[in-house]
Amino acid sequence: MTQLETAMAILMKTFDTYAAVEGNSNTLSNLEAKSLLEAELPGLLKTTKNQEEVNKLLISLDVNGDNEVDFNEFVVLISAFMCACRNRGRK
């Protein structure tokens, strides 16, 4: 696989791993989403010292308001983080 294909496979596998912990294996519950962020994006949470901000982030992930984060919503989050990281290095 190419590097991009590998990266895509890792994103899918990561989502599936956390989504399979409880309930619907096609979505992340709030607890699963929080666990994923804590384990897979610890740098993000280190910069966010306020737990209320983390809770707001989790709520904002749920674009359709069903109290779960589906794969499409997850991909939007990851894409936003990648854009922010890429733009941070540019002046």
Mean of the per-residue pLDDT values of the chain? 84
3-state secondary structure of 24: coil
Write out the residue range of the structural domain in which residue 30 sits. Answer: 3-88
pLDDT tens for 22-63 read 989 999 998 898 899 889 988 766 666 566 766 777 777 778
Q: Whole-model pTM above 0.95?
A: no
pLDDT of residue 72: 92
**Number of domains, the chain:** 1
Mean pLDDT along residues 63-80? 88
CB 45 within 8 A of CB 38: yes
Proportion of the chain above pLDDT 90, given as a percent:
43
Distance of alpha carbon 59 from alpha carbon 4, whole angstroms: 29
**Which residue carries 């294996």 as its tokens?**
25
Q: Give the phi and the psi of residue 17 in degrees, each rounded to 5.
A: -60, -45
CATH number of the domain within which 40 lies: 1.10.238.10
Provide the β-strand partners of residue 69: 28
What H or E segment, with its residue span, contains residue 67?
A: none
